Amino acid sequence: MSIKHGMILAAGLGRRMQPLTLKTPKPLLAINNLTLLERAINLLISHGVQEIIINVHYLPDQIQSFINKKRFQVEITISNEEGLLLDTGGGVLKGTRNFGDNPFFVINPDTVWRKDYLEELKNLEEIYFKNNKSTLLLVNKKLSIDSSFKGDFNLNNEKISKDDENQLIFTGLQITNRSVLKKKKIEVFSMNKVWNKLIKDKNLLGLESSQKFYHLNTVDMYRKIQSLNIID
């Protein structure tokens, strides 16, 4: 059994990446000749995902044009948030309306995704199907190239918790389903709100990644990552 649906969160404004993002949406910035968006799409396709939703808001025509030009061999649909940026939760709720009860990946292209993550996608999937619960890919903050990151979570026997000594960072990849959003309506809200409730009910699971974590959040970090010889 494998997951055939995925959503990529590409609607952000990228303000911290200005001036690079004044005329280019952040997902179309490139590392080692591959855009961040393409890296996320390639990872999902390599895993076997057959249908991808990409939400857009800022400079949406550029993302649509990129998708049209690349002719990826899967079904890719744009979920347009041009009128109102819905944040992560609202964006996922709107974008996945046609996924039914099927589980799906949600991936943030701010992370520099690489082929090395494929095995971890498989392992994440195994945890999800074993428990039928939302599952996040986490990484120890010591593996982040950005030493300023503070931990978001802890992990014990695959269960996610929070305390004053959080050591793990969310990588930007999760598996979930629409049942965790069933009481929500399409409006502005963050997935963090959903996660907090799941953590309270001990229903949020995680897997710790062993990969070096490259995440673009500033111009300086972008240039630093660009200077590295990252293997795709």
| Alpha-carbon separation of residue 4 from 51, 102, 186, 192 (angstroms) | 6, 8, 24, 24
Question: Domains in the chain, please, with CATH?
Answer: 5-226 (3.90.550.10)
Res. 195: pLDDT tops 80: yes
Kindly report, residue by residue over 8-25, the tens digit of the pLDDT: 999 999 999 999 999 999
The structure's pTM equals 0.96
Write the single-letter amino acid at 115.
K
What are 20's two structure tokens?
Answer: 């690079």
Mean pLDDT of the 166-184 span: 94
What does residue 74 show for φ and ψ, rounded to 5 degrees? -140, 165
Q: What pLDDT does 27 receive?
A: 98
Q: What pLDDT does 184 receive?
A: 85
Instruction: Give kind and range of the element (H or E) at residue 161.
Output: strand 159-161
Judged on CB neighbours under 10 Å (0-12, 13-18, 19+), 96 is buried
Q: How confident is the model at residue 6 (pLDDT cuts 50, 70, 90)?
A: very high
Q: What pLDDT does 177 receive?
A: 96
Mean pLDDT of the 59-86 span: 95
Radius of gyration of the chain measured on its C-alpha atoms: 17
Q: Give the pairing type, strands 168-176 and 159-161.
A: unpaired
Q: What pLDDT does 1 receive?
A: 78
Res. 231: pLDDT tops 80: no
Q: Which residues contact 48 (CB under 8 A, 6 or more apart)?
A: 2, 3, 4
Q: How confident is the model at residue 164 (pLDDT cuts 50, 70, 90)?
A: confident
Res. 230: pLDDT tops 90: no
Res. 218: pLDDT tops 90: yes
Res. 183: pLDDT tops 80: no
Helices (H) and strands (E) in the chain, counts: 6, 11
Mean of per-residue pLDDT scores for the chain: 95
What does residue 16 show for φ and ψ, rounded to 5 degrees? -70, -10
Kindly report, residue by residue over 111-151, the tens digit of the pLDDT: 999 999 999 999 999 999 999 999 999 999 999 999 988 89
b/e per residue, 6-44, with b = 16+ CB within 10 A? bbbbbbbebeebeebbeebbbbbbebeebbbbbbbbbbb
SS3 216: coil
